[in-house]
Structure 1
């Protein structure tokens, strides 16, 4: 797909964007949006939340998609919003925590709600404000020492620059992006379904191996542990703490972050079952690192398990190439007694379906799901003889390596498609491409899923009805 550029451009006066089409307006957001602060008197309206990927959704949909979300006892006093309003989580605006809503409902009192004060097409702004250029712009003007404390206050947002095409182009841009992003999202969903199927197959292989072993004719016995059921008769079943010399979780009060220092890693660093360093890792001073190490120091072959948040249950083993680092409270660390418990065996047990279900069964919910370390350490796990543990470890590795390769390939494809999606949005909303003459293919006569998501229904005049 190729598009022409506009015939002439002018200075955008915008941090991160040099030029815009010469006939587009350059305004302040306070000339486009006004903040509204209407409150619910009953709390009975639809509760909405902001997704970094799609924008504003009913919170019930997010729960259906697998998120574990807490809910206040009363929603009275929550902020009201109408279709076409801009909803912004001011703490996550720099991370796409905003969007134009297609729903009437209520949002957290901590969010900001804005309403158009001009005759503009709201869903153009949904794409504009979530573009790469604007996300970087918002981060530049957000206040806070570290990313987790950044806030884009409404009065600051009002002073920032808005690029505003004529109304008919706003509608055409939104229409184009609805169509094109829906195609990309469909491809992403196909790859994500493939990833899900491969992960299920992978987990089934692991679950059977760590609970039944590799020999189908071996005598079995009742383990006395509900999640395990029957296990080989020569295996034992004992609590994790009997086989781990160290069971710790990360720092609850992390030291101040610094620009250069020792990495302070979290569940974000568990990627594809491996514990990896990232370019955007938080860092702490060497003195603070030394202070944390007085409690414990992460070591090679320690097993990590996520114990807080929607990622509860993610696990990895520390490799020998990690260097110095410490961990945040989202992770628990287990140091196995190598003479009795192979760390890779513990890693596989953590990934089994039965153990994962056990974690969620005992998780507590406040601001987010989590499990107490004492509860976790008392869980009973299957323990074959150490030689058999190693044999099963090696067998599992051979079985799942091809699956892991396919999963990584599919994840890479998803990443590329998401990058393509972001690039296309940026090009359209900033005028790098001229799509005024674009029309959907002739066989695309029904609303695609992207359009349905945003509620963009067109008349011959190109306006929402």
Structure 2
């Protein structure tokens, strides 16, 4: 849609803001908002936290980020209050609370001053845009946006931002409510498409590696209840019958960043096989004072399986398709080397990612914490697998490369569409709240009043 600009602009006096409509004010936060200073010491309150999905109530019983019941420094939060994270990576992220409760000193709680006429929705759009565009970083303190960064009270109170007349705030908020809802609906459609493509991809792989490509092939009972029928000319054997070796690697204390050249040595991270695709960039650099172990280097045809991870990821498998002489196996990965005349790594990796195989792996995974479960070598070695001839495995591989490639291309288009829609959403919000477009005539007064009533 085409939205006009205002007729007259003036310099706002703020570098980040530039020009604003000539009839708009530029206000300091402290003139419109006041920081809540009330603290509580007694127990029995809902503890709130701010995430990028909004303000939520912490689950204290599961110790979700809550190790103490001492509320002596906690702030009261009432429904309708603004709450902002003012430390670390989420610094500047803000939302309006729909809950009553308390929150830690890591958050700043503030509310519209008595007697000040403001549309909270407009200022929420404005403040969230300040977070997304990293505007607040220029006014804070800290070595880096990735370190212990803070948005101190004085800088918060002194921050200057555009303040249109109240009725214009209503119009901007109503316009953005309507337009962002449209964009969000389009994004949701693309997310649904991506989910369907992922399901189709998994179903295609699972069918082909357990039933074959030929729909007319005679079938037989696999004699494995959870596997069902397989092509009559396939074998069903335990995985240990098709491998020549299995081993684990080495997990020394490494740097927190990957290697950047072929002259450096890296140790794989367990997540390098997530999703059934090998990602060599998922590694940590070996410190120069440690001597590498070349025997753990990766070779083409290695089949890697995660032995320790969450329930959804433990047992993830991927085939290595080229040599990586300077990347080493870690202790949380199994490396299987297969009998080339019996089974290919691509086929076995695909099979291990099927719902049938995953169900057995997850069933056998053990551990005290759901965030780190383990599977023993025997779980993999004793797992039954349907094995066609190597020639048919290669045919299956080519078929799957073609089919998954087509699905992956569609997935990439959907992801690009989401990225463009998010860019459009962000640009539209930034333009409206800073007065770069005039939305007063873009939405009927009745819609503005309806939007106000819903927000209230």
TM > 0.5 fold call:
yes
Q: Which has the higher contact order (CA 8 A, sep 6+)?
A: 1
Please give the alpha-carbon distance, in whole angstroms, between the structure 2 residues aligned to 1:20 and 1:327. Answer: 57
> d(CA) in 2 for partners of 1:391 and 1:36?
69
Tell me whether 1:423 sits opposite 2:417 in the alignment: no
CA contact (8 A) 2:351 2:357 kept: yes
Once the two structures are superposed, the pairs formed by residues 235-314 of structure 1 within 5 Å of their partners are: 235-238=236-239, 245-248=246-249, 254-256=254-256, 288=287, 291=290, 293-294=292-293, 296-297=296-297, 303=304, 308=309, 312=313
Task: Give CA-to-partner distance per residue, 1:96-129, whole Å, 9 cap, x none.
Answer: 7x33134114576474141124333333233223
Which whole-Å deviations, capped at 9, do the CAs of 1:251-304 have from their partners, x for residues lacking one?
7x55255997779987998898656699xx9x97x7627848549455656547
Residues 297 and 325 in structure 2, CA contact (< 8 A), matched pair in contact too:
no
Given candidates 114, 118, 121, the residue that maps to 2:119 is 121
Q: Secondary structure at the residue paired with 1:433?
A: coil
Question: For the residues of structure 2 that align with 1:160 and 1:325, how far apart are their CA atoms?
Answer: 51
- In the alignment, the residues of structure 1 paired with residue 268 and residue 434 of structure 2 have an alpha-carbon distance, to the nearest angstrom, of 36
How far did 1:187 drift? 0.8
Confirm or deny: 8 A CA contact 1:84 1:102 kept in the other structure.
Answer: yes
Verify: 1:55 aligned to 2:54, yes or no.
yes
1:382 equivalent in alignment to 2:385: yes
- Per the alignment, residue 220 of structure 2 pairs with 219
Give the match for residue 64 of structure 1: none
The corresponding residue for 1:158 is 156
TM-score normalised to structure 2 length = 0.72
Which residue is equivalent to 1:352?
354
- Does residue 84 (structure 1) correspond to residue 86 (structure 2)? The answer is no
Contact 1:207 1:352 in 2 (8 A): yes
Going from structure 1 to structure 2, the CA distance change for 1:301 and 1:72 (only over 3 Å counts) comes to same
Q: Is the 8 A contact 2:298 2:324 kept in 1?
A: no
Matched, 1:112 2:73: no
Q: Deviations over 1:118-166 (max 9, x none)?
A: 333333233223326754234554635683x444355476266241413
Distance 1:268 1:412, change over 3 A: farther
Cα gap change, 1:72 to 1:145, in 2 (>3 Å): closer
CA displacement 1:404-453 (0-9 Å, x = unmatched): 222222222112111111111222223322223331598x7997xxxxxx
Q: Relative to 1, partners in 2 of residues 1:395 and 1:207: Cα closer, same or farther, differing over 3 Å?
A: same
* Deviation of the 1:236 alpha carbon: 1.2
1:125–1:241 Cα change, 3 Å: farther
Match of 1:458 in 2: 452
Matches of 1:81 and 1:415 in 2, distance apart?
A: 34
Matches within 5 A, 1:96-107: 98-106=93-101
Q: Distance in 1 between matches of 2:124 and 2:272?
A: 30
Segments of 5+ residues of structure 2 without an aligned counterpart are none
Distance 1:364 1:75, change over 3 A: farther
Choose 163-172 or 309-318, whichever is displaced more.
Answer: 309-318
Q: Could you tell me how far apart the structure 1 residues matched to 2:32 and 2:445 are?
A: 36
TM value normalised by structure 1: 0.71
After superposition, the Cα gap between the structure-2 partners of 1:4 and 1:111, relative to the gap in structure 1 and judged at 3 Å, is same
Residue 63 of structure 1: aligned partner: none
1:437 equivalent in structure 2: 441
Contact 1:40 1:79 in 2 (8 A): no
> Structure 1's 208 and 290: CA in aligned 2 closer, same or farther, altered over 3 A?
farther
**What is the distance in 2 between the residues matched to 1:265 and 1:145?**
28
Distance 1:2 1:300, change over 3 A: farther
State whether residues 230 and 386 of structure 2, in contact with CA within 8 Å, keep that contact through their aligned partners in structure 1: no
| Cα deviation digits, residues 291-319 of structure 1 (max 9, x gap) | 48549455656547696569836765556
For 2:171 and 2:448, how far apart are their aligned partners in 1? 16
